[in-house]
Structure 1
Amino acid sequence: MTTPLTTSSTLATTADGTGDDGTRGAWLLVAQREIVTRAMNKAFAIGLVVSLVVIAALAAFFTWQSSRVDTYAVAVAGTDATAVASVTAAAELAATEDAGTEIDLLEVTDDDAARAALSGGEADVWLHPGDDGWVLVGEREPDGVVSRLLGTAVEQQVLAANAEAAGTTVAELSAGAELTTEALDPEAMGDQALFFASFALAFLFFAGAITSGSMIASSVVEEKQSRLVEIIATAVPLRQLLAGKIIGSSVIAVGQNLLFAGVGLAAVAASPISIALPALSTSLIWFVVFFAVGFLALAALYAVAGALASRAEDLQYTSTPMTMLVMGVYFLTFTASGSFLTVLSYVPVANVVAMPVRVLSGDASWWEPVLSLAGLAAFAVLALLVSERAFRGALMQTGGRISWKQALRSER
């Protein structure tokens, strides 16, 4: 049960000097109460700690996974010089590429010994010449990276032997065929890293919006169901009550995301994609700004959802539109790409995630986040104005669920 905010006399004393009626600064008291109540809530504190531990554990796991080296033993008959040379060359390629794979040479006496080593687990694959080319044998389908490295090495060895037989060299045969690569933006993230970063931003939005939005809706309906709001309304104008709840829940939501983002950045700094840290940091700054503005609108809508309900049981129904909106943004933004992502980056609420993702990918010009943020701010102002009217119209009505239409028509 929610505890009383204050009495009229206490509020007037506390807010002394802020206005003739002593209520002009009441929103600040409401905001402080929302923050303190949430911070001291044991379930919230435990959930926050668990979330931070899970994020840190996942980051540590992926960092370990990315730095892990898999070793493969390749069996060859010691009498086959080409096979031995190919495995040695493949091992050098693996070391050069730093692909997380090591290749070890296991020389055996003959093919029967190679089969025995493969069956006994001493070797992972067996390389030997076939009727037309070379064969790589494994207990099951050989690893793709190992197959590629050995295939390249065998091709190089055979090409060198054929060139020598033809009286030329590999360098002459392959003159002009060398391919080099370069990146216009060396710090740009790869597709896989960009996908995981997009998912992380979408999840931060989802977690912050759902948990803090549900908090403000539950707070409103609890006060309404217990009739406590009737006491609060004698001391606090409903407009300021709404403002305090929005600001208090917004501080909690933004603070929670800053904690999560901080842990994530620390994990990236210790991972192989640390080169993308500057771009990721810029994207996270934009995300926090967008989220802070966008959540003002969501918090207002969730507060109205609480006001439309007369009992806690009604809340699931009245908050469904906001829940669907948040889930829609979550699923659409981290899966979107190309022109669709560009469109979403200008759609209010969806742009909370979509525009920072475009900033991260380097696809957005400097002015695009500014323009998108202006559109989100305009939407937030409109949502606040409409929600404030609906909140005042619905909060004091009891007896069942109230529709948005009824709330907007009611005057208080």
Structure 2
Amino acid sequence: MSTDNRTHDRTHDRAHDRDTGTEPAWLLVTRREVVSRITDKSFMIGTVLMVVMLVGFIGFSAWQEERTTEVTLGATPDSVAMAAAIEEAAPDVDDKVAVTVVELDDRAAAETALREDEVDAWLHPVDDGWELTSESSEQESLTEVASAVVRQQVLSENAANVGTSVEDLEAGSTVSTDFLRGDAEKAAVAQAVGFVFVFLFYFAALIFGMQLASSVIEEKQSRIVEIIAAAIPLRQLLAGKVLGNTALAMIQLLIYIAVGLVGLSFTSYKSYVPALSGPTAWFICFFLAGFIALACLWAVAGSLASRTEDLQATSTPLTMLMLVMFFGGVSLDGRSQVIASYIPPVSAVVMPKRILAGGVEWWEPLLALGLLAVFAVVTVWVGERLYRRALLQTGGRVTLRQAWSSAE
């Protein structure tokens, strides 16, 4: 861009601000984007549905954690003693499983009881141990409890027969797990919340990005943008659109995060809520920087197209980038995760996951966020040039080379 053109644009910006009062044009566009979308039924319905889904999922999870599974275990005369042992020891193995024994006369009675759903499973001895027979599907909770109790009972009998104890037989055979950072439950929570962070970024960037690109195409195809361009500078139009959609995405994100943290406080993981506050704040910062950069690129994808049908072609690179970020955020671990946490824009989803897992030095998020911010600045600068030079070209789909080299 020449010095004369930059001087002209700055003069245009100042002249427009004088004509419209103290409020700059980009702020008018931002307000229009926010008001038009936030009052749109589809936006409101989508947000409410997502909140309802979050509340429902958290409520269902909490209910499942507190719910006790009641199972009936059928026992023929040759298995009554073992079934009684399972019934008695079940709470010690899994306090969410309650076993009730139903005595049956013989095999035929057991099969009848299974077919008529009078029992969930039938325990009986076989040549190499014991077997649980069910009607058509395995009773997983009962199988786990029965396996643990039967193993303990058989080991006790075998140990007594050879004059020793179960403890002596099992001495030195246990395998435990440990973590350099935290514990198993904390790692599971961090993994689950990290996936939520990745999904929220992917969802927001894709949905709002496509909507931003579509609005650019609609204004371009209908020639409304030519009227807008005569009234305000294109760079302020771009800034308003990007900031407006960023504000909307942030509003949704904050709602989802608030609902998620409040909902989590009603589950057995409520003790982790304070520890999640810091990583969540970092995620919001990374989300903001990453979203602004990608929103600008989505606006460019819209400006390169002249018709709605062209959007699929112009947005394909961005869609692929979204998938790379999603799968990278979900699947990367170890050294590859550490490296990716510094590479924009993937760092927007990977570094928050590392912060959740713990063990990150204080300077690492700052460095990653700084690199992401630099990436965002460069992206906005490049995107602004491409946007201005492609937006008013309506002769067909514009290539990146044509947009970059064309005169303003």
CA distance in 2, matches of 1:299, 1:194: 28
Contact 1:83/1:128 (<8 A) preserved: no
Q: Which has the larger displacement, 83-92 or 297-306?
A: 83-92
CA distance in 2, matches of 1:32, 1:129: 74
Contact 1:291/1:352 (<8 A) preserved: yes
Match of 1:137 among 120, 133, 136: 133
CA distance in 1, matches of 2:363, 2:31: 36
Compared with structure 1, are the counterparts of its residues 155 and 46 closer, same or farther at alpha carbon in structure 2 (3 Å cutoff)?
Answer: closer
CA distance in 1, matches of 2:131, 2:117: 19
CA distance in 2, matches of 1:356, 1:162: 52
Match of 1:223 among 219, 223, 233: 219
What do residues 61-85 of structure 1 show as CA deviations (whole Å, max 9, x unaligned)?
3333344332221222467674244
Contact 2:16/2:232 (<8 A) preserved: no
Q: What is the identity, as a one-letter code, of the residue corresponding to 1:189? A: K
Q: Which residue in 1 is equivalent to 2:63?
A: 64
Q: Which residue in 1 is equivalent to 2:186?
A: 189
Contact 1:224/1:396 (<8 A) preserved: yes
CA distance in 1, matches of 2:173, 2:316: 61
CA distance in 2, matches of 1:331, 1:44: 27
Q: Which residue in 2 is equivalent to 1:34?
A: 33
CA distance in 1, matches of 2:80, 2:139: 23
SS of 2:394's equivalent? coil
CA-CA distance at 1:164 after TM superposition: 4.5
Q: Which residue in 1 is equivalent to 2:11?
A: none
Q: Which residue in 2 is equivalent to 1:385?
A: 381
Contact 2:84/2:101 (<8 A) preserved: no
What do residues 297-323 of structure 1 show as CA deviations (whole Å, max 9, x unaligned)?
111111222222233333333222222
Q: Which residue in 1 is equivalent to 2:260?
A: 264
Q: Which has the larger displacement, 273-282 or 166-175?
A: 166-175
Q: Which residue in 2 is equivalent to 1:326?
A: 322
Q: Which has the larger displacement, 385-394 or 157-166?
A: 157-166
Compared with structure 1, are the counterparts of its residues 228 and 84 closer, same or farther at alpha carbon in structure 2 (3 Å cutoff)?
Answer: closer
Alignment of 1:306-345 (within 5 A): 306-345=302-341
CA distance in 2, matches of 1:214, 1:205: 14
CA distance in 1, matches of 2:208, 2:330: 21
SS of 1:127's equivalent? strand
Q: Which residue in 1 is equivalent to 2:239?
A: 243
Structure 2 residue 15 is the aligned partner of structure 1 residue 15:
no
CA distance in 1, matches of 2:163, 2:144: 28
TM (norm. structure 1) is 0.83
CA-CA distance at 1:266 after TM superposition: 2.5
CA distance in 2, matches of 1:167, 1:339: 52
Contact 2:78/2:124 (<8 A) preserved: no
CA distance in 1, matches of 2:174, 2:306: 73
Q: How large is the RMSD of aligned CA atoms in angstroms? A: 3.1
Q: Which residue in 1 is equivalent to 2:6?
A: none
What do residues 79-113 of structure 1 show as CA deviations (whole Å, max 9, x unaligned)?
7674244223432323xx33x32222223455554
Structure 2 residue 120 is the aligned partner of structure 1 residue 124:
yes
Q: What is the identity, as a one-letter code, of the residue corresponding to 1:60? A: G
> Identity of counterpart residues, as a percentage?
41
CA distance in 1, matches of 2:167, 2:326: 53
Q: What is the identity, as a one-letter code, of the residue corresponding to 1:105? A: V
Q: What is the identity, as a one-letter code, of the residue corresponding to 1:313? A: E
Contact 2:123/2:133 (<8 A) preserved: yes
Contact 1:187/1:276 (<8 A) preserved: no
Contact 1:85/1:157 (<8 A) preserved: no
Contact 2:293/2:376 (<8 A) preserved: yes
Q: Which residue in 2 is equivalent to 1:90?
A: 89
Task: Say how many residue pairs are matched.
Answer: 394
What do residues 33-84 of structure 1 show as CA deviations (whole Å, max 9, x unaligned)?
2211221222222222222223322333333334433222122246767424
Q: Which residue in 2 is equivalent to 1:304?
A: 300
TM (norm. structure 2) is 0.84
Compared with structure 1, are the counterparts of its residues 371 and 77 closer, same or farther at alpha carbon in structure 2 (3 Å cutoff)?
Answer: same
What do residues 308-367 of structure 1 show as CA deviations (whole Å, max 9, x unaligned)?
223333333322222222233223322333333333322212121111122222253333
Q: Higher helix share goes to which structure? A: 2
Contact 2:344/2:375 (<8 A) preserved: yes
Match of 1:199 among 195, 198, 202: 195
Q: What is the identity, as a one-letter code, of the residue corresponding to 1:269? A: S
Contact 1:188/1:276 (<8 A) preserved: no
CA-CA distance at 1:288 after TM superposition: 1.4
Q: Which residue in 2 is equivalent to 1:53?
A: 52
Q: What is the identity, as a one-letter code, of the residue corresponding to 2:43? A: F
Compared with structure 1, are the counterparts of its residues 200 and 171 closer, same or farther at alpha carbon in structure 2 (3 Å cutoff)?
Answer: closer
